[in-house]
Chains A and B, each alone.
Chain A
Amino acid sequence: MAEGIKDKVAIIGMGCTKFGERWDAGSEDLIVEAFSEALEDAGIEKKDIQAAWYGSCFDEVNVGKSGTPLSLSLKLPFIPVTRVENFCATGSEALRGAAYAVAAGAADICLALGAEKLKDTGYGGLPDMAQAMGSKNRLTFPTITAPGAFATMATRYMNKYGLKPEELKETLAMISSKSHSNGAKNPKAHLRRAVTVEQILKAPIIAWPLGLFDCCGVSDGAAAAIVCRADMAKNFRPDPIYIKSMQIALSHGEELMYTDWDGTYVKTAVHCAARAYQEAGIKKPREEISMMEVHDCFSITELVTMEDLGISERGKAPNDVRDGFFNLDGKIPCQPDGGLKCFGHPIGASGLRMMYEMYKQLQGKAGERQLKAPKIGLTHNMGGFPAMNLISVNLIGL
């Protein structure tokens, strides 16, 4: 394996908008809001930025394609701006682009910004998947939505591990309840209400067996990171955060078209995590990782992700959930900021929003949610469906 980018790139500034149904704000407003905070946090000027990566997914229906929505909104002066899109890992991809440019020596200071104005698409939930699947796939793919696709993992998980629907649903409810309790403590979260397991279990079914509270919200938001060469980071601030690894893994058809995947886990996540741990030098993730922001688009996703990331053993994540292992006061707090559950999932922004929480926690600036002396934070995005997807796993630390 190549030597990787561990400790070559530092994050010196981050910004994150208030997430929510931002009827008051368009994409331009969200971009400016996230960027201004990041710029101030880094203590640099706009002219110091040498290149930028802009992540947006469905937002292209609002702002169009290319990097120009970013360059025009921020009046970036003729610097390279690259628009990236990679399903739900779009925000993480923007950061990976910026970090790789710095690691390669192509630029010293780069901006990564992801923004998504989902509430202008007119949909509750993500827009119709047929539009995003391509002209051939839509002729053959089922009438799939995101909650439905992930719900299929839940029906299979129950079957494999002999769980009754009420057993799995209660475990999943504990996952969502935990995130809601964290989100209630976060002024930037969209949903800021604690919700009990009982309330969650009573909610209407969206896609069997997932109910309303098993699904993340739908919101608008933007988040940004400014990265620079690690050796110059302390010129800007005393507490820069270092990137330990950034990995992406994509499905190649095996899960959807070949018959050896059992549908109770995410194959790409296993590969991606292994590479990320190797790049970061992590040997025992359950002991070395301090905290995580994973892609809890649905409660079942968070459950199997704990197994895919090697935190819980196969089939044993429900035990860890019940033991409070992932709670704010647990061994590895998961979704300390409230997760997608409470932030919603403006796709281009989510990866960077997760990174924002890890960054603030590592700097000891997470307010009411502050964890005790975290050292390594993990972010994880999953784009697409369990049978055809891409995964991003990133590690940052002191």
Chain B
Amino acid sequence: MAGIISYGGYIPRYRIDRKLIYKAMGWLNPATFMPGEKAVANFDEDSLSMAVEAGLDCLTGLEHSGVDGVYFATTTAPYSERLNAEVIATALDCRSDIRAADFTDTPRAGTTAIMAALDAVKAGSSNKVLVCAGDIRVGKPGSAQEETFGDGAAAFLVGEDDGIAKFIGSSSVSYDFVDHWRSKDDRFDRQWEDRFIRDVGYTSFIIESLAGLAKKFAIEPNQVAKVVYPCLYPADFPKIAKILGLGPGQIVEPLLNQVGYTGTADPLMHLVKALEETKPGDKIAVVSFGAGSDALLFEVTDKIDEIRNNRRGIGKNLAVKRELTSYEKMVSFRDILPTEKGIRGEMMAFTALSELWRSRRQILALVGSKCLACGTPQFPAQRVCVKPECGAVDRMEGYRFSDKKGRVINYTGDNLAFSPNPPAIYGTVDFEGGGRFWFDFTDVDLDKVKVDMPVEMSFRRKYVDDKFGIHGYFWKAVPVLD
């Protein structure tokens, strides 16, 4: 029976206290005040890179080569043309004989991608489809969205067998309900009046899709252990539960005041949270909102603990945070506040796309080589073995470093190099099992970096070449999370 095999989550380390946002921009619109904090992607993250991180978490301990479909849901894809899902698939070192597709244009796209993946599995067209959702929605300074939107990602591997949650079915409603929109030239969302969105769309579509689900599968409210639906309006969120006849224990506590509303990733991140909190036999309903609503029903199996103990999901990602103490940093990371980059930031070497094609596994998936003669792992992949006593020629097999941990050999914090978040910290990493290379470090303060510090690899946006419209990705070293 089709269902969820594994899950993964990712929340950027930076959290900003909403009071900082309000202090900076509250003068413009005093009604925007919101409590709590929200997650802010670092300057080197975007929806795609966060989706890769969630995907990596999801595939922990599983063969990446078993994946034969990669779907990416987002409303903030870095590329309008260049298949974002395939960048993710390549970064995760997936096979090439797979399906890859982007699902976009509405925050509902996350659940739609999961339904499409489940359908492909049920139809026998795919065996295991990885669905990643990531969003980095940016609100205009001074807007309510700036306070509400947070950054994050989630991923699910769906397939036929060995699931942690069986898929019972789904029910959708789809409407051209223009609550918010962004035309092809818009940087920011535009939005119609809140009362209209709340009363005509938000409350009614969620209830409508859930009612459809209940009717279709003859489920009473008390038969569902957990219900996930987005929290767009904190005052109205509990009203939906009340109308549906759901008790407080059945509602998955929203992450609005810890992470923010994360668009396509939002229902998926909350589904991960629900799976972290449930027990075998529980039924979970997950509902999205956007141009209508999707409602999906799952039943948790006894396999849940195997995955739950080996995933970072939402819980572990939520626990690790760095305070972002400056509103100006947040808006400069998103290029809303243009900053002085200097000549080192302005000058950009050309990206040879033919080179990127040849080296795609090395650059996007951090695959080096391992010498079959002496067993030495090396990055980048070499033709001639780098071990001085070996030197074997063309005796190499691929060797993936992205999932290897390492330790810091040397480091610096560089104030001369251009970094949007200076100083630029970088150094050399020796990998467990062999292999060495130098990397940028990220999500760490210089005074925390030490020789021998354990690190792991994180997929990041290395550069953006505005002139050629290229988003370049590579891996950086970050402190080991657990």
Contacts and interface: CB of A to CB of B under 8 A. Distances in A.
Interface of A: 122-125, 127-128, 130-131, 133, 135-136, 138-145, 147-149, 151-156, 159, 204-208, 210, 252-254, 256-259, 262-263, 387
Nearest to A151: B412
B87 to A, nearest CB: 14
A152 B355 contact: no
Contacts of A159: 451-452
Interface in B206-234: none
Interface stretch (B32-40, B249-257, B261-269, B427-435): B427-435
B366 to A, nearest CB: 9
B415 A207 contact: yes
B419 interface: yes
B426 interface: yes
A152 B410 contact: yes
Nearest to A156: B410
A263 B409 contact: yes
Contact of A147 (B344, B416, B428): B416
A258 B378 contact: yes
The 9 closest A-B pairs by CB, nearest first: A148-B414, A142-B426, A151-B412, A152-B410, A156-B410, A135-B352, A159-B451, A207-B414, A142-B440
Interface stretch (B131-139, B145-153, B196-204, B381-389): B381-389
Interface string B69-102: 0000000000000000000000000000000000
B426 A259 contact: no
B375 interface: no
Given A123-B344, A143-B440, A155-B410, A258 B376 contact: yes
Contacts of A149: 412
A284 B446 CA distance: 42
Given A258-B386, A387-B438, 8 more contacts: A138-B349, A145-B416, A152-B412, A154-B412, A206-B416, A207-B412, A208-B414, A257-B382
A258 B474 CA distance: 21
Task: Indicate the member of A125, A154, A155 with the most B CB atoms within 10 Å.
Answer: A155
B174 interface: no
Contact of B411 (A152, A210, A387): A152
A261 to B, nearest CB: 9
A156 B435 CA distance: 18
Contacts of B362: 140
A13 B474 CA distance: 51
A135 B430 contact: no
Interface residues on B, range: 35 or more
Nearest to A136: B355
B423 interface: yes
Contacts of A262: 409
Contact of B428 (A133, A135, A140, A152): A152
A151 B446 CA distance: 13
A254 B386 contact: yes
A136 B360 CA distance: 11
A148 B416 contact: yes
A160 B128 CA distance: 49
8 contacts: A141-B438, A143-B419, A147-B414, A152-B428, A159-B451, A204-B415, A259-B430, A259-B435
B388 A145 contact: no
B183 to A, nearest CB: 34
B439 A142 contact: yes
A141 B417 CA distance: 13
Nearest to A146: B416
Interface in B341-383: 343-344, 347-352, 355-356, 359, 362-363, 376, 378-380, 382
A392 to B, nearest CB: 22
B363 to A, nearest CB: 5
B418 A139 contact: no
A156 B409 contact: yes
Contacts of A125: 416
B466 to A, nearest CB: 15
Contacts of B416: 124-125, 145, 147-148, 206-207
A139 B430 CA distance: 20
Given A123-B344, A131-B349, A257-B379, A143 B436 contact: no
A256 B438 contact: yes
A139 B474 contact: yes
Task: Indicate the member of B349, B382, B440 with the most A CB atoms within 10 Å.
Answer: B349
B472 interface: yes
B410 A153 contact: yes
B349 A130 contact: yes
Contact of A145 (B355, B382, B417): B417
A156 B382 CA distance: 27
Contacts of A140: 362-363, 380, 437, 474
Contacts of A142: 424, 426-427, 438-440
Given A139-B355, A207-B416, A258 B387 contact: yes
A148 B422 CA distance: 13
A262 B452 CA distance: 12
Given A155-B411, A257-B435, A259-B435, A143 B424 contact: yes
B412 A135 contact: no
Contacts of A254: 386-388
Contacts of A205: 413, 415
A142 B440 CA distance: 5
Contact of B417 (A124, A144, A154, A387): A144
Contacts of A131: 347, 349
B57 to A, nearest CB: 24
Contact of A208 (B347, B352, B413): B413
Nearest to A262: B409
B436 A258 contact: yes
A122 B376 CA distance: 43
Contacts of B434: 259
